[in-house]
Structure 1
């Protein structure tokens, strides 16, 4: 009978049957439960890939929000995302029901690296607790680390001064300075701005951050089993990850050569002590140390450095705001001594400008994704366990109901009666238990680097050049490469 059927069925009929079977299987696999958040029309196999705007996803998400409300879903390949918008809903997810959305999903491009950011459960709690304790032990929140940042500020001021007011790209000078802070904590030393090996590493990190925004990289995250066979930026990212891990591993090996278990010089020494204490049997293992170091290098360099680059660009484009910041610096700090964190409370306008730079530059627009750990009801919608959830920080930082002029660079958003005004809707570091681990360090660095540079220089566009706020989308939202003049004051 089977042979008869095989001989009588034409190839066309077999093809039709196969296509129908795959469509039905795809439909069954993607079938949503009752009361699941609404979504646009889904295409078989690819979901909503055809609707994506890879160059400016903010616009796409805004359109969907206007049509479907503050909670809706999208399908990319085999993964379903639920997007949540607005302060009320984001607080519900990250704070009020934070335990239900505590985990991170596995992101194909990054699964080999990010351990602090992407790990879950006991592993995440152990690594995060250890890292926070170690950062505090090495000066986080203390005067010793503030002095280390001030020393690096002076190095950056000197490097800018070497340009003698001529046009230059500040990108890697800033990267080097910011990275040196986390390197001094993790590796036990800073790197000279002309260190070739470290410059190669900084360029490698920068390339990796940029490549995350390419179409092939995004497609790999949605269709890894297919896209892995195609050439593209995702393969360069993997190569760069290997180079970064090799750099970190080399530093760890050097530490082992003269390691004294009775004292800790830096983060690596402290972690090696934990490994020895656990006899290699717990969550503290060398592979986790490599991953945590990579996390700290990336997070401790890229976000703060990118924000400072935005800050200098805004100052050059808004000279009247820059002049007012400089007048406040001159009044409170003067020109002879370095700015200190204790000055911040007496500098409300400068503090407001820094916060407005963070709000307007919006460098992590969709936060780091979460994974639903159990079936949950969210605003009347059913969110099954294992659903990836994205909290749209852009919807808060640019909410016209929260900000007077959301699309305008306006330091007045953070001022009330001449004093600094802390706003609940200021959420660039996220909120809840998995908010940015390095927020305190980043806020200190931003204030000290920004005031040190504005104290000594006026930033201007090069002659016959018009600066703009165009961005490039990668792991962060960064300004397009630009040149600027740092004119000594």
Structure 2
């Protein structure tokens, strides 16, 4: 622990560094982006309040598409609007594609023995190799898996439907835990292979509980990333964080070992098999130029972490909007009835014949933007953006929430209108859908976006074919989210009724 003398000395040193930085800025000939004034140590953190999306929108309106802020001890910019975010994410020189070396990343590397998730690896030839092989493994799984992924998604959707329909129709129920278990079950079997429900249930519950603990610990950000020296003052918290992220590591390790022993060339039972196949020519030890075979296979843990929370929260928000807008739900159900009837099983190819249902899913994703800010980017060199100078080692926040609320494009972004995403012929408008950046953009775009979309589409279509959701009497609908790394709907209660 730091005594008061050391603390005061550290504070004086930080204030001095801040003064030097400000003096350098004043006399610099560079043209930096505009932005609000901050304070030493915290920068602009204290201005964000409990609704950072709203504050960033205000700054966007006042300062423009590029806003300079300070994120604790880090120089940072906030990038707003579709065009500017696309420019940043898809720059050919990849100058904005780095990742800051936050304390969170350092702790995660230490916890996993130097192995990093694709999400956090800094941009480099190694990152590109890891991304390419992971994306190839996912495509291989979709096209070559012995058990058709669509069948898996449909099977779990039907299980969820039957579970929900067992509730008495007049009972006010929460569907959160049912949806979470359905999503994590799909994800687990996709990554590690089919399994009996009774055998995998403990693993599924452990993943759900670990995610909840992790989100509670981190909240909407890790304070150690803002004020790094706190990690030395609050070592106990750092250890708790390590324990939280490692609590399901035993599952990943056990599954990797199982697959190493049972994998056969040309066999694709799941994503881990596909990764095993692609890791065969990789070295067993990490090097500067190449990832190791274990590093590649360990990406199942990254896919597990990234896929569960975002997908489950999106599905819950869709159900919430369906009960809040019964006319939308009825129109979706009519479309499903006209195309599929009451018994035809849904397939991924049916998405083209269900444009309004798809538009509803996209509109919910736009309105909620469950990941309002992409995982922070980092400048690898000095560069320019929209006529402003951006220094090397600048943290870059891509404000995806701004894209969803861009008035010049959407007209009335505050309103929920699925039909805005249909063209004159009543089909899904691809260009408008591209402005919903749920999965980010560029070479940092989520590699599992197609699988997530497929899972959500099949699950929601199956629910709409068989169920009706109604707001429970005496319970209000509240769209204000619970803020964490991924936004969640507040607890809500519904009545579930059987359609057929």
Once the two structures are overlaid, the 10-residue window that deviates more, 308-317 or 409-418, is: 409-418
Indicate the residue corresponding to 2:372 in structure 1. Answer: 365
TM-score normalised to the size of structure 2? 0.87
| Rounded Cα–Cα distance in structure 1 between residues aligned with 2:13 and 2:429 | 60
Query: C-alpha separation between the residues in 1 aligned to 2:382 and 2:175?
Result: 48
1:110–1:463: structure 2 CA closer, same or farther, 3 Å change rule?
A: farther
What is the CA–CA distance in structure 2 between the aligned matches of 1:443 and 1:153, rounded to whole Å? 14
Relative to structure 1, the CA distance from residue 191 to residue 248 in structure 2 (aligned partners, 3 Å threshold; closer, same or farther) is farther
The residue matched to 1:92 in structure 2 has which SS?
Answer: helix
Q: 1:98 Cα shift? A: 6.0
In structure 2, the CA distance between the partners of 1:389 and 1:21, relative to structure 1 (3 Å rule), is closer
Deviation at 1:212, TM superposition (A): 2.5
Q: Which residue of 1 aligns with 2:126?
A: 123
Q: Which residue of 1 aligns with 2:16?
A: 24
Instruction: Describe the shift of the 1:116–1:397 C-alpha distance in structure 2 as closer, same or farther (beyond 3 A).
Output: same
1:165-209 per-position Cα deviation (integer Å, ceiling 9, x unaligned): 333222232222222333223211256388234212212113323
Change (3 A) 1:290 1:173: farther
Q: Helix, strand or coil: the match of 1:460?
A: strand
Counting only pairs closer than 5 Å after superposition, residues 309-458 of structure 1 correspond to structure 2 as 309-417=316-424, 418-422=426-430, 423=432, 424-458=434-468
Q: Relative to 1, partners in 2 of residues 1:21 and 1:452: Cα closer, same or farther, differing over 3 Å?
A: closer
Structure 1 residue 29 displacement after superposition: 4.5
Distance change (3 Å), C-alpha of 1:213 and 1:232: farther
CA RMSD of superposed structures (Å): 2.7
Partner of 2:227: 223
Whole-Å Cα distance in 1 between the matches of residues 390 and 300 of structure 2?
34
Equivalenced residues, count: 472
Decide whether the 8 Å contact of 2:103 with 2:228 is kept in 1.
yes
Asked whether the equivalents of residues 172 and 202 of structure 1 are also in contact (C-alpha less than 8 Å), the reply is no
* Aligned equivalent of 2:314: 307
2:74 to 66, 71, 79: 79
Determine which structure has more spread, i.e. the larger CA radius of gyration.
1
Q: Is 2:205 the partner of 1:196? A: no
CA distance in 2, matches of 1:236, 1:407: 40
The match for 1:211 is: 217
Q: CA separation of 1:141/1:213 partners in 2, compared to 1, >3 Å: closer, same or farther?
A: farther
Partners of 1:420 and 1:258 in 2: how far apart?
Answer: 44
* 2:257 paired residue number: 253
In 1: Cα distance, 2:439 partner to 2:328 partner: 25
* TM-score normalised according to structure 1 size: 0.88
Structure 2 residue 151 is the aligned partner of structure 1 residue 156: no
For the 8 Å contact 1:175–1:202, the answer to whether it is kept is yes
**C-alpha distance 91-277 of structure 1, shift in aligned 2 (>3 A):** closer
Q: Does structure 1 conserve the Cα–Cα contact (< 8 Å) formed by 2:379 and 2:395?
A: yes
Give the unaligned 5+ runs of structure 1.
1-14
Q: 1:185 to 1:22 in 2, by over 3 A?
A: closer
Equivalent in the alignment of 1:478: 488
Measure the CA separation in 2 of the matches of 1:321 and 1:64: 34
2:112 aligned residue: none
Structure-1 separation of matches of 2:259 and 2:216: 31
Cα shift at 1:151: 1.6
Please give the per-residue CA displacement for 1:59-105, whole angstroms capped at 9, x wherever unaligned.
11122222222111111221111111112211221124562212222
Checking the alignment, whether the CA contact within 8 Å between 1:101 and 1:373 is kept in structure 2 is yes
Greater mean deviation of Cα atoms: 393-402 or 32-41: 32-41
Q: What residue in structure 2 maps to residue 94 of structure 1?
A: 89
The alignment status of 1:38 with 2:44, answered yes or no, reads: no
2:478 aligned to which of 458, 468, 474: 468
CA deviation map 1:11-61 (0-9, x unaligned): xxxx999987653333224644521222322322332232222x2101111
Q: Of the candidates 295, 305, 309, which is equivalent to residue 302 of structure 2?
A: 295
Of the structure 1 ranges 267-276 and 39-48, higher mean CA displacement relative to structure 2 is found in 267-276
